Structure formats: C-alpha cells, structure tokens
C-alpha cells in the first residue's frame, strides 16, 4: 500500500449542536462515509485514517468496508472540547513516520469529491507550494465598521457590479488541507510556507455546523447521487393550481439601481407579467413572495393585478401553507420559482419547485426544473408556458 498521501479525518463523539452528527445518516449513509468515499476514490491516497474517541463511531467507520481505512484512537486530551484539530494531527504524525503528506479532511464537508482531492495533490506535487487548501468563490458584498460609519470592503456601491461581472472573493470551505508531515511537525500548523488554493464548486460553501445546515446539504447530496425512486417520475404539472415566485433575482436580474435622487430602481421583464396574466386567465392563482420589503414590488404587483403579494417574509414555507389553506390547495398543487438559499425550503416542499439558470447552486440542485432563462430575462414566462402547455393551454 502506497501511504505517501494519508487522508486524516478527525471525528469526535462530543458534537454540541447535533449529537453524534458524524455518523448520523445523511442522504442514505453515515455522514463520515461521504468524505471517506471521496478519499477512497482518490488513487493517490493510500491510507485513510479516521481519528476518534468513540467505539460507536469506530464501528460505523468499519462498516464502510475499505482496506484503505483504519482507525486512530485519539487520546482524551486531543478529544476534549478545548483541543485544536492541530493537536490530534500532531499526535498522529509524531507516532507514525510512514507517510510523506497529510490531507486533513473534515467530515462536515460531505460535498467533497475525489476530483477535488486529486486537484489538490496535483497542485502540491508541482513543488511550488508547501501547503494547499480548498476554497469556494463567494459573490457577496462585504462591509465593515470604521468607528460608527459603515464602509464597503470589496466593491463600490456607487457602481454596483452585476453578479456575472463580479469576481467575488475566496473563502475557506473547510473541506481539506494538504501539507507535508515535515512541515506539520516543524510549524505545528495545518498550513505553512507558500499556500496554494483549489477552488471547489460553489455549493460546497455549506458545512454542517448547525441543524439548519443539515437539510440544505442533504438536499444537495441527494441531487448528486440521484433521486429516490418516488422522485423519478416527472412532476405532474396538470395538478398545478398556483404559482408563486420570489422577486429579486427571478422577476429582476438581482441588481440594485439608484437614481440621482437616491431612489432605488428595479428592472422587471414585461414577458414575465404577460406569463402571469396567462396563468390567471387559466384559473391559476399567482403571486410574489419576497423577503425584501420594498414599495416598488408592491407597485409592480398591483399593476399586474396579482392575486397575492407578500413582502418582508422570513418564513416562506409557512406562508405557502397559509395560502394553501386560503385557496384549498395542497403543497403538490403549488409551483414556486426561487434563486437563493432562502427559497430552498419551498423549492423542496412544493409540487413543482423551480430555479432560474443563474440561481445559487444550492437552489438549482434542489429544483425540479431549472429555467433556460436567467432571472429578469423571462424565467417566469418560461415556467408559466410550461405549466400551461402541460394543462393544454
């Protein structure tokens, strides 16, 4: 067995937020099995060490059934609430000298793939870097406080870039870190010297730290490994009796425009309004549900004479359930279009959950249908025509 590259996965029993979360079932298998699988499928990794203090976790790890996998029994000191990850890495490295480099892999990043690890090893083997870590690109606008004044960090609010024109910034996603055994022992840190980056898929931004993260990541994984047999059938659009949509990023391009007066402007697509009117003529309830509270949205909804408009909504799924009661509908009779993580619970729960083509990856992975059109460019009209075509309209 070639053990030059050893994958090291520390998993304690003492998770505070989700008890025994590392072996809790995630999309059909224990959580830790997902990262073991990624390392197992990476040819360059000859050994996978799972370091734990729990016999229960040890049994779950053994059930994976790979000859590459072995368990390291971490000490009580390195398994304490105050111990750092470096402490257990050093504990193992000091006791085992038969490997050249260690890939620290975190079990809370199940979206990690063998390809991600291979790209990290390829970069490390160029000799240009002493350490490599995984990152994900985020296109968010950052602010900081200077005294009592807020100032932007990474953009000019007077010339707000569109998403497709914005490079964003790179964030550690915690999936893996790669360093040599010698560098680890010398520095006492998972990173040292010249550091190289491996950019992973945007969806891998999510780590499982809180219960709310669990359903998001599980939905993403379920899409990666394929739907369940019950979900293989195409949605029955003949039963759709209502279509609700997010506003920013769906009915608009997600940009925020300001007049000289400081008034906020939004650009709506006329074709979307026609599509909603077509649905209404077919007897389908239509409306906007947005977390923003902007008068412009209300005015647009009033002009279109929509059945429902709800702004400033923090719990969209609860509102969907209230509207189902109001119109005597089931969730399966509802279609919804969203573009971001706030929309995930609804996209996953309704009969026809949709996302736009330029939505956040998590929304696209959760959706039953991803539009060809981008937000603000006729995506709502596209969904409307699809529903009407299936209903003979």
Which SS3 state, helix, strand or coil, does residue 102 take?
strand
Assess whether pLDDT exceeds 90 at residue 8: yes
Report the distance separating Cα 269 and Cα 141, nearest Å. 25
Q: What is the pLDDT of residues 145-195, one digit of tens each?
A: 999 999 999 888 888 888 777 888 899 999 999 999 999 999 999 999 999
Least Cα distance to 243 among 294, 282, 296 occurs for: 282
pLDDT of residue 23: 87
The residues assigned a catalytic role are 160
Q: Is the pLDDT of residue 263 over 70?
A: no
CB 286 within 8 A of CB 276: yes
Is the predicted pLDDT of residue 262 greater than 70, yes or no? no
pLDDT at 232 over 50: no
- pLDDT, tens digit (0-9, with 9 covering 90-100), for 69-93: 999 999 989 988 889 999 999 999 9
What integer pLDDT is reported at residue 229 of this predicted model? 37
What mean pLDDT value characterizes the chain?
A: 87
pLDDT at 264 over 90: no
Name the least confident of 69-78, 121-130, 286-295, 304-313: 286-295
Highest mean pLDDT among 20-34, 247-261, 378-392: 378-392
**Domains, the chain, ordered by start:** 5-137+169-225 (3.90.550.10), 237-390 (3.40.50.1000)
Angle at 232 between CA 226 and CA 236, to 5 degrees: 140
Q: Which pLDDT score, from 0 to 100, does residue 259 have? A: 54
Residue by residue, DSSP assigns 182-249 as HHHHHHSSS--SSEEEEEEPGGGG----SHHHHHHHHHHHHHHH---GGG-SPP-GGG--EEEE-STT
124 pLDDT higher than 70: yes
């Amino acid at each position: 067995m070639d053990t030059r590259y050893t994958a090291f996965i520390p998993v304690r029993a003492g998770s505070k937020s989700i008890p025994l979360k590392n072996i809790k079932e995630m999309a059909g298998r224990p959580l830790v099995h997902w990262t073991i699988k990624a390392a197992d499928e990476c040819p360059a990794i000859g050994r996978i060490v799972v370091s734990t203090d729990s016999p229960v976790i040890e049994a779950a790890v053994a059930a994976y059934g790979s000859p590459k996998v072995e368990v390291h029994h971490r000490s009580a000191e390195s398994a304490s609430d105050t111990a750092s990850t470096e402490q257990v890495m050093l504990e193992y490295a000091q006791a085992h000298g038969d490997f050249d480099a260690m890939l620290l892999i975190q079990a809370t990043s199940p979206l990690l793939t063998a390809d991600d690890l291979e790209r990290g090893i390829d970069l490390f083997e160029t000799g240009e870097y002493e350490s490599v870590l995984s990152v994900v690109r985020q296109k968010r606008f950052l602010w900081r406080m200077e005294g009592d004044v807020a100032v932007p960090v990474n953009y000019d609010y007077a010339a707000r870039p569109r998403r497709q024109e914005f490079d964003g910034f790179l964030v550690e996603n915690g999936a893996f870190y790669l360093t040599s055994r010698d560098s680890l022992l010398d520095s006492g840190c998972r990173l040292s010297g010249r550091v190289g980056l491996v950019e992973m898929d945007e969806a891998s931004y999510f780590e499982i730290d809180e219960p709310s993260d669990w359903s998001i990541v599980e939905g993403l994984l379920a899409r990666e490994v394929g739907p369940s047999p019950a979900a293989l059938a195409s949605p029955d659009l003949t039963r759709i009796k209502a279509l609700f949509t997010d506003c920013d990023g769906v009915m608009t391009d997600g940009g925020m425009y300001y007049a000289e007066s400081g008034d906020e402007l939004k650009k709506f697509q006329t074709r979307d309004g026609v599509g909603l009117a077509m649905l209404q003529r077919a007897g389908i309830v239509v409306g906007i549900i947005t977390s923003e509270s902007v008068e412009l949205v209300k005015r647009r909804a009033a002009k279109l004479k929509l059945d429902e408009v709800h702004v400033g909504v923090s719990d969209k799924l609860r509102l969907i359930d209230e509207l189902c009661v109001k119109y005597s509908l089931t969730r399966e009779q509802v279609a919804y279009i969203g573009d971001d993580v706030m929309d995930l619970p609804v996209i996953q729960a309704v009969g026809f959950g949709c996302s736009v083509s330029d939505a956040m990856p998590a929304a696209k992975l959760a959706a039953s249908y991803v539009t060809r059109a981008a937000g603000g460019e006729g995506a709502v009209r596209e969904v409307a025509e699809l529903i009407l075509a299936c209903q003979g309209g």
